[in-house]
Amino acid sequence: MDIYEPATLAVAFAALMLLSVMTAWYARTKGKNPFLWFFLSLFFFPFSNLILFFLPDRHAAAPDPAVERPIFHSEAAYPKPDSEGESGIPVERPLQRMPFDPGLKWYYITQSCEQVGPVSLSGLRKAATDGTLTEESYIWCDEFADWKKIKELSNSRTLFDRDFLE
């Protein structure tokens, strides 16, 4: 039996097309371009399938809308985002910046749930650098609508930097 017989070539071509279609379907389930992966599989069959298998999924699993998430008191001041993408994933709010006005009076909650304040910005920085405050601690000043976790502020890393102490 010659490998170049029309029947042998037809079976090999049909098998390659079937494997390429399966590769395109798998690429689609992983969030990749199925047409690109169909042609890659057609020309580079064993290698393209291995590459596709080890690539991470493009889209993360969407949260289940049937499961209610608890609303914390710090989130109560914000309305739920009403603009959602077509995938159903809510649009993220941008992080608020921490004001560094030296005239502001700051308040914070210790790890033992005691409210401390008013303190100056330098007092707040001292509490952060000596370990009284962590990124999970809540702080407040007049420019905030509600208590904020330090990690929710976009420029909060400077609060823990010893070079910024006054």
- Categorize the per-residue pLDDT at 77 as very low, low, confident or very high, splitting at 50, 70 and 90: very low
pLDDT value of position 71? 44
The answer to whether position 150 is within a domain reads: yes
Residue 156's Cβ-side half-sphere holds a number of Cα atoms within 13 Å equal to: 19
Kindly state the greatest CA–CA separation across the chain. 92
The answer to whether position 71 is within a domain reads: no
pLDDT value of position 92? 58
pLDDT value of position 78? 46
- Give the residue among 143, 150, 154 at the shortest CA–CA distance from 104: 143
The answer to whether position 141 is within a domain reads: yes
The answer to whether position 31 is within a domain reads: yes
CA distance 106 to 98: 11
The answer to whether position 93 is within a domain reads: no
The answer to whether position 153 is within a domain reads: yes
Mean pLDDT check: name the lowest of 10-14, 33-37, 79-83, 142-146: 79-83
This prediction has a pTM of 0.43
- Categorize the per-residue pLDDT at 90 as very low, low, confident or very high, splitting at 50, 70 and 90: low
pLDDT value of position 88? 56
Q: Residue 81 — left, alpha, or beta (φ > 0 → left; ψ -120 to 50 → alpha)? A: beta
* Residues composing the chain: 166
| Total domains present in the chain | 2
Q: Token pair for residue 35?
A: 């047409």
> What is the dihedral sign for C-alpha 64, 66, 71, 76?
positive
- Categorize the per-residue pLDDT at 3 as very low, low, confident or very high, splitting at 50, 70 and 90: low
- Categorize the per-residue pLDDT at 2 as very low, low, confident or very high, splitting at 50, 70 and 90: low
The answer to whether position 67 is within a domain reads: no
Q: Could you say which of 15, 37, 54 is where a domain stops?
A: 54
CATH number of the domain bearing residue 143: 3.30.1490
Domain that includes residue 28, residue range: 6-54
Residue 24: CB atoms within 10 A of its CB come to: 21
CA dist 136 → 41, 86, 95, 149 (Å): 49, 33, 15, 6
Q: Token pair for residue 25?
A: 């379907």
pLDDT higher than threshold 80 for residue 107 = yes
- Categorize the per-residue pLDDT at 59 as very low, low, confident or very high, splitting at 50, 70 and 90: low
The answer to whether position 23 is within a domain reads: yes
Judge contact between 155 and 98, C-beta under 8 A.
yes
Mean pLDDT of the chain: 75
